[in-house]
Amino acid sequence: MNRVAIIFRTAPHGSASGREGLDAVLAMSALSEDIGVFFLGDGVCQLLAGQDPAAVLGRHYAPTFGLLELYDVEAIYVCAESLEQRGLEGAARVIDAEVLALPELQQRLAGYPVRLTF
């Protein structure tokens, strides 16, 4: 199977996009061992610890990102510029991810011929 990149670009609550992306990563891990997960733009907010979506009647799925390690998904990248623009450089995250400058992140992303964006 091809190398597959899953790209998170949306904020975690207000749509089902983040949950669907996480479900896609977990399902795809059964089919491919070469998955890259990228967090760009508002997608960096998916990783914030301490979220409380109860106020918007949402499900708290962020801790489920911790399963990526169990599913052998190891290539996880976060855009440094996106973190900086949102004032989240030092914010606690639910998983460890490699923080990369945008040019390097784009270079890594270029190595994935199949890309799904959520």
Distance of alpha carbon 101 from alpha carbon 82, whole angstroms: 9
Give the pLDDT of residue 1: 62
Per-residue pLDDT of the chain (118 residues; tens, 9 = 90+): 689 999 999 998 888 899 999 999 999 998 888 999 999 999 999 999 888 777 766 777 888 999 999 999 999 999 999 999 999 998 999 999 999 999 999 999 999 999 999 9
Look-up of token digits 């907010």: 45
**What pLDDT is attached to residue 39?**
98
Kindly report the pTM of this predicted structure.
0.92
pLDDT of residue 62: 85
Indicate the helix (H) or strand (E) that contains 6: strand 4-8
Distance CA 49, CA 52 (A): 9
- pLDDT tens digits, one per residue of 97-117: 999 999 999 999 999 999 999
**Is 16 buried (19+), middle (13-18) or exposed (0-12) by CB count in 10 A?**
middle
Instruction: Please name each of the domains of the chain with its CATH number.
Output: 4-117 (3.40.1260.10)
